Amino acid sequence: MTDNPAATDDVAVSLRARINTGQPHTARIWNYWLGGKDHYEVDREAGDQIRRLHPGIGEYARADRLFLGRAVRHLVGQVGIRQFLDIGTGLPTADNTHEVAQRIAPDSRVVYVDNDPLVLAHARALLTSTPEGRTDYLDEDLRNVDAILEHAAGTLDFSEPVALMLLGVVIFIGDDEDPYGLVRRLTDRLPAGSHLVLSHTVTHPSMPDVDEAVKFWNEHGTPKLTQRTPEAVARFFDGLDLLEPGVVSCSRWRPEHDHGAEPEEVAMFGGVARKS
C-alpha cells in the first residue's frame, strides 16, 4: 500500500471501475447479511433467494463473525498472541480482527489479505490502528503463499507466534487445487506457538437446504464454492493441537453467554489449533 493519499485515492477509483455490479458476489452478500452497506441490488436479490432456500443462512454469517471475536480474544488475552495474518478478509464490518485484538492489546499487529477489488477499495477502513500497533493490507490471493508471507514479513515478525486466520475462505479452493496442502504450506512457515483459526461452511445430512443454497450460488454467483463435510474440515487441522471443543459449529465454539442451553447448531464449523 502506498503512503501517498492522492495515489491511494486513484487506486480506489481504478478498483471501483473494475467492480462488477451486474453479478452477485459473496463478499457483498456476506456484508448484506451482516447488516453492512457495501452491496448492490443484485447482491440483495441473490442473498434473499439464498435465504429463501435456507432461512438460517444469515445466522451463519453472524456466527462466523462472533467466532472470530471469541477466538481473537482468547488468543490475545489467554495465549498472548500479538500478531495476526488474516487471509480472506472480506468487507470491513464491526469488530474486525485488528479492532478486537487491539482493544485488549494495543500493540497487536495485523496484516489483512484479500484479492477482491471491492475489499481493496475499502482498505482504508481496515488500515486504522492504535499508535502502539500496526495494521496493513495486502492485495493477494490465498494460493500465492510465498508472496503473502514475503510481503507480510514487512509488518509481522515470523520468529514470533502468529495467528493465521482463514475464516470462510478455504471454501473457495477447489479439491483439485490441493486445499489441505495449501493450508499446510502456510502453517509450516509459521513458528511454534502459532495458531490456526479456520471456519468453513459444511454439508451435513441434517441440513440439506444448505446444499441447495450452495448449488444456487454456484449457478449464479462468483467465485464458486466447494462444500465439505465436518470431518473434511477437521482435516485442515491435521498435525496441529486442537483446542477444546475441537471443530464444531461456530456458534458452539466457547460461547460466552451460558443460558443453560447449547446454542443452535449452524452449518458454519470452525476450530482453533496450536502449532507445537
Q: Which three cell numbers stand for residue 180?
A: 489441505
For 133-162, the DSSP string reads SEEEEEE--TT-HHHHHHHHTTTS-TTS--
pLDDT (tens digit per residue) in 90-110: 777 778 999 999 999 999 999
- Name which of 10-14, 49-53, 154-158 the model is least confident about: 10-14
pLDDT (tens digit per residue) in 63-91: 888 999 999 999 999 999 999 999 998 77
Name 222's Cβ contacts closer than 8 Å, sequence gap at least 6: 23, 24, 25, 26
User: CA 263: distance to chain centroid?
Assistant: 22
Domain ranges of the chain: 5-275
Specify the pLDDT at position 22.
72
Mean pLDDT, residues 119-138: 87
Q: Which three cell numbers stand for residue 36?
A: 453492512
**What gap in Å lies between CA 87 and CA 143, rounded to an integer?**
10
Specify the pLDDT at position 61.
77
Buried/exposed code over 171-194 (b: 16+ C-beta within 10 A; e: otherwise): bbbeeeeebeebbbebbeebeeeb
Query: Which pLDDT band holds residue 5 (cuts at 50, 70, 90)?
Result: very low
Specify the pLDDT at position 30.
73
Which CATH fold would you assign to the domain 5-275? Rossmann fold (3.40.50)
**What gap in Å lies between CA 83 and CA 76, rounded to an integer?**
9
ω before 223 within 30° of 0 (cis)? yes
Specify the pLDDT at position 18.
60
Nearest in space to 64 (alpha carbons), one of 263, 254, 249: 249
- Would you say 25 and 43 are in contact if contact means Cβ atoms under 8 Å apart? yes
**What gap in Å lies between CA 130 and CA 109, rounded to an integer?**
9
Note if the pTM is more than 0.75. yes
pLDDT (tens digit per residue) in 197-230: 999 999 987 777 788 888 887 887 777 889 999 9
Number of Cβ atoms within 10 Å of the Cβ of 85: 25
- Would you say 220 and 257 are in contact if contact means Cβ atoms under 8 Å apart? no
